[in-house]
Structure 1
Amino acid sequence: MKPGIHPAYRPVVFRDRGADFAFLTRSTATSARTIAWSDGNTYPVIDVDISSASHPFWTGRQRVLDTAGRVEKFRRKYAGHRRAS
């Protein structure tokens, strides 16, 4: 590898505020905000919208789509429209 062209690869905390979950890993991502970790060190923190603690696939809390209701809504919305021949 060429020296001086790669970003720094260092410990970073990724935090999912919605699920109150954080994990320490290594990354090249940067942040101006920091957090004190349980080992006593301070690390940059990056807030994420979804993590394994809040993603429906990993938590098993998947939403059920009401496809029948969506079809009925579509039919009501376009009931007065006629298709051009």
Structure 2
Amino acid sequence: MQQDKHPDYRPVVFRDRAAGYAFLTRSTATSDQTIEWDDGTTYPVVDVEISSESHPFYTGKARTVDTEGRIARFERRYARGQGADGDSGQ
């Protein structure tokens, strides 16, 4: 591995403003903003739009897609094999 080619890997706080949640992890992300963490140390903070705390899939608020109903509606609309000769009559 070549030296001085990779970004600095350091502790960073990611803050999800929608959920009011922040977590400390290691990352190469950079930021001009800082935050004082619970341990009294100041870390760079990166604001994110969505995280596991506010994502619908992880919070259980995800919408389920009614694919079976869509298929049934499609088959009713474009009824398959209505005519004896394979013609749908259109």
TM range (shorter): 0.7 to 0.9
Structure-2 separation of matches of 1:6 and 1:47 = 23
Q: How many residues align?
A: 69
Whether 1:51 and 2:72 are equivalent positions in the alignment is no
Partner residue in 1 for 2:33: 33
Larger of the two Rg values belongs to structure: 2
* Alignment match, 2:19: 19
Question: Aligned AA for 1:24?
Answer: L
Q: Deviations over 1:7-43 (max 9, x none)?
A: 1000000000110000000000100000000011000
Identical aligned residues as a percent? 68
User: What SS does the corresponding residue of 2:57 show, helix, strand or coil?
Assistant: helix
Q: Structure 2 unaligned segments of length 5 or more: list them.
A: 66-90
d(CA) in 2 for partners of 1:29 and 1:55? 21
Greater than 4 Å deviation, 4+ residue runs: none
Residue 63 (structure 1) shift: 3.9
Gaps of at least 5 residues in structure 1 are 66-85
**RMSD of aligned alpha carbons:** 2.0
